[in-house]
Amino acid sequence: MNETINQSITVIKGIGGETAEILAEMNIRTVKDLLEYFPYRYEDYRLKDLEEVKHDERVTVCGQVHSEPALIYYGKKRSRLTLRVLVGRYLIQVVLFNQPYVKNKIAINETVTVTGKWDQHRQTITANEVHIGSQMKSTEFEPVYAVKGKLTVKGLRRFINLAFHQFGEYIEETLPNRFLIDYKLMNRVSALRMMHFPAGQQELKQARRRIVYEEFFYFQLKMQALRKIEREHSKGILQSYHLEKLNAFLESLPFTLTNAQKRVVNEILSDMKSPFRMNRLLQGDVGSGKTAVAAIALYASTTAGYQGALMVPTEILAEQHMDSLKNMLEPFELRCELLTSSVKGKRRKEILQLLKAGEIDILIGTHALIQDEVVFHNLGLVITDEQHRFGVEQRRVLREKGENPDVLFMTATPIPRTLSITVFGEMDVSIIDEMPAGRKIIETYWAKPDMLDRVLSFVEKELAAGHQAYVICPLIEESDKLDVQNAIDVHSTLTHYFNARYQVGLMNGRLTADEKEAVMKAFSLNEKQVLVSTTVVEVGVNVPNATMMVIYDAERFGLAQLHQLRGRVGRGSEQSYCILLADPKSEVGKERMKIMTDTNDGFILSEKDLELRGPGDFFGKKQSGLPEFKVADMVHDYRALETARNDAIQLVQLEEFWHSADYLSIRNYLKESGVLEGEKLD
Ligand code: ADP
Ligand code: MG
């Protein structure tokens, strides 16, 4: 790291107390921060041919003044200057508001350059600026920065310019030379300069390319170094599972594993058998058979003499997992127990004691698992389902219940590759990309709200056939109260509509855990045929007799969430349906509905979702774990991301990387970002 550009920003001439404070608010504290404070866009002042410009687009043109400018005042300070300008073979009108003084500078036949918004119908440019002469600025691309308080863009630009004057020569290269050569990347100092003072479009593109690569490379390097250290320095458990017993267990399953399941089982088992700690993410669409994979891994761990734990986000889900795991595992004389906050008193005490004594083999539960009172005898494997619902901290606490147990994170939210290698870059990833044979595609339709009657008679037909239906209510962001009210309204409408022919249940986030359970139980026992619900049924719930799902205001949901919801049906052998009630106003909204009706593949959906929503919104507001890149964009620059990742993977494998002085600056960077501890360097 270079000491000089790491100095406080106040070493730059003209930056004193107040300015420094404003800059600090913009996270600019050192010279380096300032040099890396990039424009968020560039104003394009290249001259354009009017024929190529669309209505309402911003444009810069050059032409000759054709008639005497007309100036009109209205009010004290407001004015409008109108000129007619000959641009190529077009005679257009230029309007300039509130800059009356420009009139005196302009004469007929004078050449002017004008920048503003083009109104194609009126053949008029509403100008921001009118300059005399054939050039607007000294540059074709003018950077635009986000600024705060009293600081102006112009002022900021001046400081950046000064920073280059004072410190330009101290900006060091940070990428290994061979990358610069192999990828024809601009060196660092030129790239920084070009970002702030672009000479032209090509130069800007090259500068950006360099910065993007650098951002991805350093980020991935951090991830890969972490991953290597995790794998090689973590003292994990070598779990010698019993192969014959495991095979017997596999034979006992009512199905044979899909090839994808076999592959991921092998990946998981080989991690468990290694002396290093497993840190693996298992992705698989709803219904792809992750639970079976989890059961196999948990069973394997018990044959090696360890306990296993499965943590899920909701009680309902915990109970369902408990049921299916018990079914699979109890014939093998394993003891599975459930621990949630509803397990209380004597029962709880008993479970905790048995767990500590090692008499319970597998513990399934919610957050309850990470409380202090929960003590394992010898925890070997921890699995969390729907891991994105748990915070990093909760995951860590659970892991620390054992001595470096193997850890498997499962998620049914397919995560696009670009995101998964970024957010979970330090983990190993296994993907189940194949559905068990014979799965029926859930037929999905998009209906406008005015077709509700037809939709309901369709629902009734399914109910008449002995099936059940979910009705998902509109999601009202940030208003739990309205959510609940909506569900209550829909519930009463439907109760009225089905008029005692069918029973309608109601589920929402306000119910207590007991109430939720009662509603869910009634639905799964077919005492209620219709379940009106807010999105609380989203995860994991399994009622195979439900073949119909109606989603109100479907345009308010993201694709990933719609897909999760839809996954509640199609779990039995019957054909299932999903109806999206939606009247999206935007093109993106329409596109979403269309994608839902077109595909059942969660991975395709997740890629589309990422395209439509952008990485920031993908995981929703609460948890993202997304790194912030200054320039790079994970979606658009995914090729650079892949390249940088591969380079980082290779680099950390290089013996000399960890020892040679050539890589000292990179290692120092890793140290600074907390990845490397001092002693691990040698
Ligand atoms: P996920 O947890 O990924 O949503 P599950 O493990 O709950 O999926 O599996 C969904 C259903 O598919 C379950 O009823 C399960 O018994 C069944 N299943 C799992 N693997 C297979 C397979 N290889 N062949 C047939 N059915 C399977
Ligand atoms: Mg599951």
pLDDT (tens digit per residue) in 438-464? 778 899 999 999 999 999 999 999 999
Ligand 2 center from residue 376 Cα (angstroms)? 24
Q: Any idea what the Cα angle at residue 164 is, between residues 161 and 166, rounded to 5°?
A: 110
Q: Is the CB of 286 under 6 A from ligand 1?
A: yes
CA separation, residue 252 to residues 295, 327, 353, 429, 680 (Å): 12, 11, 31, 27, 47
Which residue carries 């969430």 as its tokens? 561
CA end-to-end distance (rounded Å), the chain: 19
pLDDT (tens digit per residue) in 327-350? 999 999 999 999 998 899 999 999
CA pair distance 131, 154, nearest whole angstrom: 18
Q: Which two tokens stand for residue 383?
A: 């699995």
Q: Which two tokens stand for residue 460?
A: 């009734």
How deeply is 461 buried, as exposed, middle or buried, from its count of CB atoms within 10 A (0-12, 13-18, 19+)? exposed
Nearest Cα to Cα of residue 606 among 384, 438, 411: 411
Query: At 84, phi and psi to the nearest 5?
Result: -110, 130
Q: Is the CB of 261 under 6 A from ligand 1?
A: yes
Ligand 2 center from residue 540 Cα (angstroms)? 6
Q: What is the pTM of this model?
A: 0.71
How much is the pLDDT for 478? 56
CA pair distance 552, 494, nearest whole angstrom: 13
Asked whether residue 540 carries a pLDDT value surpassing 60, the answer given is no
How much is the pLDDT for 138? 67
Q: Whose CA is nearest to atom 4 of ligand 1?
A: 287
Q: Whose CA is nearest to atom 11 of ligand 1?
A: 287
Q: Which parts of 454-551 are beta strand (E)?
A: 468-472, 504-507, 530-533, 546-551
* Residue 188 near residue 172 (C-beta atoms within 8 A): yes
* Closest ligand to residue 324's CA: 1
| Ligand 1 atom having least distance to the Cα of 288 | 3
Q: Which two tokens stand for residue 271?
A: 């991690």
Q: Is the CB of 289 under 6 A from ligand 1?
A: yes
How deeply is 549 buried, as exposed, middle or buried, from its count of CB atoms within 10 A (0-12, 13-18, 19+)? buried
Mean pLDDT of 502-514: 86
pLDDT (tens digit per residue) in 19-59? 999 999 999 999 999 999 999 999 888 888 888 889 999 99
Q: Is the CB of 295 under 6 A from ligand 1?
A: no
How much is the pLDDT for 192? 96
Q: Is the CB of 92 under 6 A from ligand 1?
A: no
Nearest Cα to Cα of residue 311 among 389, 415, 378: 389
CA pair distance 468, 462, nearest whole angstrom: 7
Question: Given its phi and psi angles, is residue 373 left (phi above 0), alpha (psi -120 to 50 degrees) or beta?
Answer: alpha
Asked whether residue 626 carries a pLDDT value surpassing 90, the answer given is no
Q: pLDDT confidence of 126, banded at 50, 70, 90?
A: very high
Query: At 288, phi and psi to the nearest 5?
Result: -80, -5
Asked whether residue 18 carries a pLDDT value surpassing 60, the answer given is yes
| Ligand 1 atom having least distance to the Cα of 292 | 6
* Residue 490 near residue 500 (C-beta atoms within 8 A): no
Q: Whose CA is nearest to atom 10 of ligand 1?
A: 287
| Ligand 1 atom having least distance to the Cα of 291 | 6
Say whether 676 sits in a helix, a strand or coil.
coil
Q: Which two tokens stand for residue 365?
A: 């539960």
Asked whether residue 515 carries a pLDDT value surpassing 50, the answer given is yes
**DSSP letter (8 states) at residue 86:** E
Ligand 2 center from residue 290 Cα (angstroms)? 6
How much is the pLDDT for 681? 40
Q: Is the CB of 648 under 6 A from ligand 1?
A: no
What DSSP assignment string belongs to 272-299?
A: HHSSSPPEEEEEE-TTSSHHHHHHHHHH
CA separation, residue 677 to residues 67, 555, 673, 674 (Å): 73, 48, 10, 7
Which uninterrupted H or E stretch holds 369? none
* Closest ligand to residue 432's CA: 1
Mean pLDDT of 291-297: 95
Which residues hold their Cβ within 5 A of ligand 2, which is an ion? 291
Q: Is the CB of 439 under 6 A from ligand 1?
A: no
Which uninterrupted H or E stretch holds 429? strand 428-432
How crowded is residue 169: how many other Cβ atoms within 10 Å of its Cβ? 10
Nearest Cα to Cα of residue 434 among 247, 672, 264: 264
Question: Given its phi and psi angles, is residue 458 left (phi above 0), alpha (psi -120 to 50 degrees) or beta?
Answer: alpha
More confident: 485 or 150: 150
Question: Given its phi and psi angles, is residue 222 left (phi above 0), alpha (psi -120 to 50 degrees) or beta?
Answer: alpha
Mean pLDDT of the chain, nearest integer: 88
Mean pLDDT of 207-217: 96
Q: Is the CB of 292 under 6 A from ligand 1?
A: yes
Asked whether residue 292 carries a pLDDT value surpassing 80, the answer given is yes
Q: Is the CB of 291 under 6 A from ligand 1?
A: yes
Mean pLDDT of 80-96: 93
Q: Is the CB of 543 under 6 A from ligand 1?
A: no
Ligand 2 center from residue 477 Cα (angstroms)? 26
More confident: 65 or 635: 65
Ligand 2 center from residue 386 Cα (angstroms)? 8
Q: Please list the alpha-helical segments (H only) found in 129-175.
A: 153-167
Mutate to test the pocket of ligand 1, among 291, 440, 576 (most ligand atoms within 8 A of CB): 291
* Residue 20 near residue 10 (C-beta atoms within 8 A): yes
Q: Which two tokens stand for residue 400?
A: 């620390």
How much is the pLDDT for 475? 65
Q: Whose CA is nearest to atom 15 of ligand 1?
A: 289
Residues pairing with 470 in the sheet: 531, 549
Ligand 1 center from residue 256 Cα (angstroms)? 10
Question: Given its phi and psi angles, is residue 532 left (phi above 0), alpha (psi -120 to 50 degrees) or beta?
Answer: beta
Which residues fall within 8 angstroms of residue 33, CB to CB, at 6 or more apart? 9, 27
Q: Directed axis angle between helix 480-498 and helix 452-464, to 10°?
A: 60
Q: Is the CB of 69 under 6 A from ligand 1?
A: no
How much is the pLDDT for 235? 78
- Strands 124-132 and 70-73, by their bridges, are unpaired
More confident: 199 or 461: 461
Q: pLDDT confidence of 3, banded at 50, 70, 90?
A: low
Ligand 1 center from residue 225 Cα (angstroms)? 35
How crowded is residue 602: how many other Cβ atoms within 10 Å of its Cβ? 27
CA pair distance 180, 640, nearest whole angstrom: 13
Asked whether residue 561 carries a pLDDT value surpassing 70, the answer given is yes
Q: pLDDT confidence of 578, banded at 50, 70, 90?
A: very high
Asked whether residue 521 carries a pLDDT value surpassing 50, the answer given is yes
How much is the pLDDT for 643? 93
Mean pLDDT of 274-293: 89
Return the minimum-mean-pLDDT range out of 13-17, 75-79, 113-117, 383-387: 383-387
* Residue 67 near residue 94 (C-beta atoms within 8 A): no
Q: Whose CA is nearest to atom 19 of ligand 1?
A: 289
Q: Is the CB of 307 under 6 A from ligand 1?
A: no
Task: Please report, rounded to a whole number, the percentage of residues in the chain having pLDDT higher than 70.
Answer: 93
Which uninterrupted H or E stretch holds 631? none
Q: pLDDT confidence of 483, banded at 50, 70, 90?
A: low
Mean pLDDT of 109-127: 93
CA pair distance 359, 334, nearest whole angstrom: 9
CA pair distance 181, 184, nearest whole angstrom: 5
CA pair distance 166, 154, nearest whole angstrom: 18
Return the minimum-mean-pLDDT range out of 121-135, 410-424, 648-662: 410-424
Ligand 1 center from residue 288 Cα (angstroms)? 6
Nearest Cα to Cα of residue 192 among 168, 220, 215, 175: 168
Nearest Cα to Cα of residue 264 among 285, 251, 242, 280: 280
Ligand 1 center from residue 360 Cα (angstroms)? 25
CA pair distance 152, 70, nearest whole angstrom: 32
